[in-house]
Amino acid sequence: MSEIARVLKTFIGYLKRPDLYPELGRKIIKNIFKRNSAFKGKEKTNLWASQVAVSQENAIRKLFNLDFQLFSEKYPQEFQKALEKQNNCPIKMGGAGALELLYSACEFTQAKAVIETGVAYGWSSFATLTSLQKRNGTLYSSDMPYLGQNGDQYVGCIVPEDLKTNWKLFRHADRESLPKILKESGEIDVIHYDSDKSYEGMRWGYETLYPRLRKGGVFISDDINDNSAFQDFCERENIATTVVEYEGKYIGVFVK
C-alpha cells in the first residue's frame, strides 16, 4: 500500500469513529506543527541506553530476584493457541514483546491491579492476565486500534477467553481512556506503557500514570529508544532506572 493510500485509509477509519475525533484533531495538529518532535533526544538516549543496558534475564534477577523462564515454556499450550490465533488474524499488528519481564513484574508485586497502554494482538495483556488471574486481579488496558487496517475488532484477539473476566479494555486514545481508567481504579501495582511513541505522548502518559503507581510497584515502558522522553522523565523524577535490551530496542523498567 502506498503512503498516500495508507494515510487516506487511516483518515477514513477515524471518520467512522466519532469517539476518536479528539485524537484525530491532535494528530493533525502534531503533523502540521510538530513533525520532528517525535524523535526529540533520540541520539542522546540511544547512546545512554547502549551503555547501561542489561538482558531481560539479568533485569528480572536483579530487580525481582526471580529466575528467568520463557513464557512460552511455562505456558506452552496456551502460548501455542495464542500463536495460532495470531497467524489466523487477517490484519498485521505488533507481535509479542518482553513477556517474561511483564509476567515477572506481576508475580514480584503480587499484582492485583495493572494498567497497560497499547494492546494490539494482546500478547502483553495475555502475559499480564495470566499472572493477575491467580489473584483475581484486574488489567485495565487502553488501545486505539490500527484504523488503517479496519483492525478494531481484532484488538486483543489472542487473549484466551477464560482470562477476559479479569480484563477491562478501553478502546479509545490514551488521552480519553486513561482519565476514565484512573477514575475507576485505585493504586496500581504495575504500569506498562506501550502505545503512543511520540515524545509528547510518552511524557504525558508517564506523568499521568506514575503518581498512581504504588510504592514498590513496577513501571515498564517499551521503545524508550524512539526519543528521550523516558530518560528525561527519570532524570526529572530522580529515578534510577534499569534499561533492558530486547530485540534491538530498549525497554525502561524500575521499581518505585
Sign of the CA dihedral 89, 95, 99, 105?
A: negative
Q: Which is nearer to ligand SAM, 37 or 216 (CB)?
A: 37
Supply the minimum distance, in Å, between the C-beta of residue 161 and ligand SAM: 18
CA distance 144 to 21: 12
Catalogue the long-range contacts made by 11-14 (C-beta closer than 8 Å, 24 or more residues apart).
Answer: 13/147, 13/148, 13/150, 14/147
Q: Which is nearer to ligand SAM, 47 or 139 (CB)?
A: 139
Supply the minimum distance, in Å, between the C-beta of residue 113 and ligand SAM: 17
Cβ(189)–Cβ(218) below 8 Å:
yes
**Position 97 contacts ligand SAM (CB under 6 A):** yes
Q: Which is nearer to ligand SAM, 105 or 240 (CB)?
A: 105
Q: Which is nearest to 242 in space by CA: 4, 28, 57, 95?
A: 57
Supply the minimum distance, in Å, between the C-beta of residue 56 and ligand SAM: 13
Return phi, psi of residue 97, to 5°: -105, -145
Which set of grid coordinates corresponds to residue 121?
494482538
Q: Which positions from 119 through 138 interact with ligand SAM, judged by CB under 6 A?
A: 119-121, 123-124
What is the enclosing helix (H) or strand (E) of 244? strand 242-246
Which set of grid coordinates corresponds to residue 136?
483475581
Residue in the shown chain whose Cβ atom is closest to ligand SAM? 118
CA distance 57 to 236: 28
Q: Which positions from 135 through 194 interact with ligand SAM, judged by CB under 6 A?
A: 142-146, 173-174, 194
Q: Which is nearer to ligand SAM, 65 or 85 (CB)?
A: 85
Of 60-68, 73-81, 91-99, 232-240, which part binds ligand SAM (CB under 6 A)?
A: 91-99
**Position 226 contacts ligand SAM (CB under 6 A):** no
**Position 118 contacts ligand SAM (CB under 6 A):** yes
Which set of grid coordinates corresponds to residue 207?
506523568
Of 41-49, 55-63, 89-97, 106-114, which part binds ligand SAM (CB under 6 A)?
A: 89-97
- For the chain, what's the residue count? 256
Q: Which residues bind ligand SAM (CB under 6 A)?
A: 93-94, 96-97, 117-121, 123-124, 142-146, 173-174, 194-196, 201
